[in-house]
A = this chain, B = another copy of it.
Amino acid sequence: MPAPLRIDAQFFALPAVARCTSCAARPVGVCAAIPVHALTRLAATGVAMRIRAGQRFIEERDVAAHFFTLTAGTARLLKMLPNGRQQIISFPGSGDFLGLASQGGYNYAAEAVDEVRLCRFPRDALRRLMAEFPAMEKRLLEVTSYELSMAQEQMLLLGCKSALERIASFLLARARKTATGQRIMLPMGRADIADYIGLRIETVSRSLAHLKSAGTIGFATPSSVVIHDFAVLERLAFCA
């Protein structure tokens, strides 16, 4: 039986006006399109939650009753096949918006990779927000359009690239996303990486080991990578 989702008590300890203005995701998320004077109403329609690592909070094909804004942690979006195989679509993090459903049901399941914090809103709140603030709809189109271009880039990876090229692309994308110089953290395990780039876990491990023995990358721990040679990774990822 799945554990019940937990309300975030810290959130409700705050005065309503501060719930959104103090949010880490506010400057980057779709909420940025909501003017300050309306944030209190926004906060009133939402529920802040904490999702434990591994816990699922969106079920594929469920009626899309809510939408979500992540405020901390990393999630994984995945599609399952009856034979047990699964494809991870993306690893959304703080500021990312979830829950656009193209025909009534969610297109993917969502699970927490590490502890995730998010705000959950009822779907008709989204409709009302979009009607009232056209900037919100515009922002949503931008975000969705960006997601689409990322998905297309991933199709290129899955359709054309070798194991080593996939790993290089993945590491570079992580470095770009988290922008922490040479050191990048991988909150997800090898199995998640494998499901994301269309390989088996052993192949991921072997490819990483190969890059390490070539001196291109190094490991502090299995989830902490240091990139020694960006040029090599870029040449691999670009398939030049």
Contacts and interface: CB of A to CB of B under 8 A. Distances in A.
A174 B173 CA distance: 33
A30 B66 CA distance: 26
Interface residues of A, number: 42
Contact of A152 (B108, B137, B197): B108
A77 to B, nearest CB: 8
A131 to B, nearest CB: 9
A19 to B, nearest CB: 27
A102 B148 contact: yes
A153 B158 CA distance: 12
Contacts of A140: 141
A188 interface: no
A21 interface: no
A160 interface: yes
Nearest to A84: B239
A182 interface: no
A89 B239 contact: no
Number of this chain's copies in the complex: 2
A237 to B, nearest CB: 10
Contacts of A87: 155-156, 159-160
Interface in A107-150: 107-108, 130, 134, 137-138, 140-142, 144-149
A79 interface: yes
Given A141-B144, A144-B148, A147-B148, A156 B102 contact: no
Contacts of A138: 130, 137
Residue from A82, A107, A155, A197 whose CB has the most chain B CB atoms within 10 Å: A155
B134 A89 contact: no
Interface of A: 79, 81-83, 85-87, 89, 100, 102-103, 107-108, 130, 134, 137-138, 140-142, 144-149, 151-156, 158-161, 195, 197-198, 238-240
